[in-house]
Structure 1
Amino acid sequence: MKMIKPIVNVSKVADAYDAVLCGFNGVLHDGVSFRAEALEALLCLYKSGKKIVLLSNDCRRVEEIARLMHQNGFSPRLFSAMVTAGEILHHHLAAGRGVYASLGKNCCCLDEDGGASLFEGLDFAVTADPAKADFLYVGRLPAGRAVDDYLDVLNHAASLGLPLLCAGNDTSVVCGEDTVPAAGAVAEQYAVLGGRIITVGKPDPAVVDYALAAFGPTERKRILMIGDCMASDIRAASAAGISSCLVSKGVHVSFLGEGYIPDVTKTRELGNMIEAYPDYVISGLRR
């Protein structure tokens, strides 16, 4: 049985690692604002010589995340690289290879910005009518929207045989004090309706390997992944053969609780459901 060690400060285990893969949502940002303690911890890791790569299932492009950090007084230069699901999907669409070669150019967007960021600089048209679309795209959901709100569109699109692109596999994300549906939940519902889905993001090994390459030659046993989602972060770390630290006050807070000292028993129960276990659990990323 794998031991899960509760920690209150990342500095307690930092010496065992040379590089850190760090999530964004639920780790550095709570969906409403940045977590000051987490940013301070990241700065300390950087100053101690750790290489840090941001690896997020966020549907936004890297430039947007970097701008958000800069506006809040946090330098994105701390990262050796920044990788988001939205950036990877944009790259795939631009390259137009594999499954993306036959998508077509007309998209019915279900995200909050109508695909403006995803399709920037690309030759795609956006429509609100599935009958005029070649495929669907779901990214960041508008505030207050539930999966059921999309059922009519999803049913219509499924009947037309349209594929659905999903930036990020997460079914829910933390938003302030709440947990709200995310793009992955819409994709799951579409699959239930018989639709074909194409998802981009953790725990896909190709995405993790791409991020790991930014570290250069680094032993995997010297790499730590920090994230708040068992299904994407911890499962991805396990598959990649790297250590992981789960942030308990993230997307799983309703199950794991809000205690300063993380609940290891609850963490193991959650791991049993996912069949993946973190090496460490911390209530919030702090130095």
Structure 2
Amino acid sequence: MTKLISSLTDIAADYDALFVDLWGCVHNGIEAYTEACEALVAYRNTGGYVVLVTNSPRPWRSVETQIEGFGVPRAAFDAIATSGDSARMAMFIGAVGSKVYFIGTETETQFLEPMDIVPDIAHVHRVPLAEAEGIVCTGPEDAMADPSVYRADFLYAKQKGLKLLCANPDIVVDRGETREWCAGALAQLYTEMGGESLYFGKPHPPIYDLARRRLSKTADLEDPRILCIGDGIHTDIQGGMGEGLDTLFITGGLAAKEFGEDPNAPDPQMLEGWLETQGMNPTYSISFLR
């Protein structure tokens, strides 16, 4: 049974480091959550470490610039681990071949740019689908369009035996009050059609390995006690549980409507019932990070 808490300070002393989701936890895709940022700054001021662990397909430096624009203070975190960086490392060692069909917005094509820490072994080139050895997906070109618009391309790709590298396993995110499709929805469709999708973000192990590497460069901790925080039950919470780590579920995020009318006061019985249907048992739950 999850334990409802009212503040991060209720449990902060039990952990050396936090792996914290961004979207829906620290910001809403438009602006930072002030209380969440203040809580992270306060935690770091007590000697704790914060790694922002995000399913963003962007490189970490790009995410850092983005969240600065949202108003997230630099004092709120020590490092960033992105699904994009984890997936890019796999791409550059040939996970989906050297000729790739890219699905995403033009602003996300930086995903294909070489990484300093990984030799460009695969010499990745963007090509039309007919010439591709694999697919790289950072998200739909139109985040509001139903993923089924890719069905024809995916049928062709499946018949060619192409693998799809998914840079962001999230299915949806809320940008302010607007819900948008993510790369995970496309990868899910491709898998349902019989294709093979490769995942590197939460809840899959590669991004947690990257997060630990980023933490080790910041903190000299032999066996850190880590708490995973986020609003994605099948990304943040499932991933943390899969790593054997404690978790803190943000009820006021993606699933807020499941727990009553007031997102600031989730109904405990509704929460427990919903968690049972999801097959998840977060260590703690809180309405919003604060």
TM score, norm. by length of structure 1? 0.87
Following superposition, the deviation at residue 92 of structure 1 comes to 2.0
**Structure 1 residues 265 and 205: alpha-carbon distance in aligned structure 2, compared to 1, 3 A threshold:** farther
Q: What residue number does 1:243 align with?
A: 246
Distance 2:243 2:278 in 1: 16
Decide whether the 8 Å contact of 2:31 with 2:71 is kept in 1.
no
Identity percentage over the alignment? Answer: 27
1:242 maps to amino acid:
L
Decide whether the 8 Å contact of 1:70 with 1:76 is kept in 2.
yes
**Structure 1 residues 276 and 136: alpha-carbon distance in aligned structure 2, compared to 1, 3 A threshold:** same
Which runs of 5 or more structure 2 residues have no equivalent in the other structure?
A: 115-119
- Does 2:140 correspond to 1:137? no
Following superposition, the deviation at residue 34 of structure 1 comes to 2.1
Alignment length (residue pairs): 277
Q: What residue number does 1:187 align with?
A: 187
Q: What residue number does 1:22 align with?
A: 20
Q: What residue number does 1:277 align with?
A: 281
Q: What residue number does 1:33 align with?
A: 31
Following superposition, the deviation at residue 75 of structure 1 comes to 4.0
Following superposition, the deviation at residue 182 of structure 1 comes to 1.7
Following superposition, the deviation at residue 242 of structure 1 comes to 1.9
Decide whether the 8 Å contact of 2:102 with 2:137 is kept in 1.
yes
Following superposition, the deviation at residue 86 of structure 1 comes to 0.1
2:133 maps to amino acid:
D
TM score, norm. by length of structure 2? 0.87
Following superposition, the deviation at residue 183 of structure 1 comes to 1.2
Distance 2:160 2:102 in 1: 16
> Which of 158-167 and 250-259 deviates more?
250-259
Q: What residue number does 1:208 align with?
A: 208
Distance 2:131 2:143 in 1: 26
Q: How does 1:64-143 map to 2 (within 5 A)?
A: 64-76=62-74, 78-94=76-92, 96=93, 100=95, 103-113=96-106, 115-121=108-114, 123-127=123-127, 129-141=128-140, 142-143=142-143
Decide whether the 8 Å contact of 1:23 with 1:54 is kept in 2.
yes
Following superposition, the deviation at residue 77 of structure 1 comes to 5.7
- Does 2:162 correspond to 1:171? no
Q: What residue number does 2:226 align with?
A: 223
What is the aligned counterpart of 2:45 among 34, 37, 47? 47
**Structure 1 residues 86 and 267: alpha-carbon distance in aligned structure 2, compared to 1, 3 A threshold:** same
Q: What residue number does 1:146 align with?
A: 146
Following superposition, the deviation at residue 259 of structure 1 comes to 2.4
Decide whether the 8 Å contact of 1:201 with 1:207 is kept in 2.
yes
> Which of 230-239 and 31-40 deviates more?
31-40
Following superposition, the deviation at residue 73 of structure 1 comes to 4.4
**Relative CO higher for 1 or 2, CA cutoff 8 Å, sep ≥ 6?**
1
1:165 maps to amino acid:
L
Distance 1:210 1:116 in 2: 22
**Structure 1 residues 76 and 140: alpha-carbon distance in aligned structure 2, compared to 1, 3 A threshold:** farther
Distance 1:34 1:140 in 2: 22
Decide whether the 8 Å contact of 2:82 with 2:201 is kept in 1.
yes
Decide whether the 8 Å contact of 2:143 with 2:181 is kept in 1.
no
Decide whether the 8 Å contact of 1:30 with 1:250 is kept in 2.
no
Following superposition, the deviation at residue 5 of structure 1 comes to 1.6
- Output one character per residue of 1:201-242: Cα deviation in whole Å (capped at 9) or x when no partner: 11223432432342543545x321111111111112222222
- Output one character per residue of 1:14-56: Cα deviation in whole Å (capped at 9) or x when no partner: 1222211101111112123222222122111111211111111
Distance 1:252 1:181 in 2: 15
1:137 maps to amino acid:
V
Following superposition, the deviation at residue 260 of structure 1 comes to 0.9
Decide whether the 8 Å contact of 1:8 with 1:260 is kept in 2.
no
Which runs of 5 or more structure 1 residues have no equivalent in the other structure?
A: none
Distance 2:250 2:48 in 1: 19
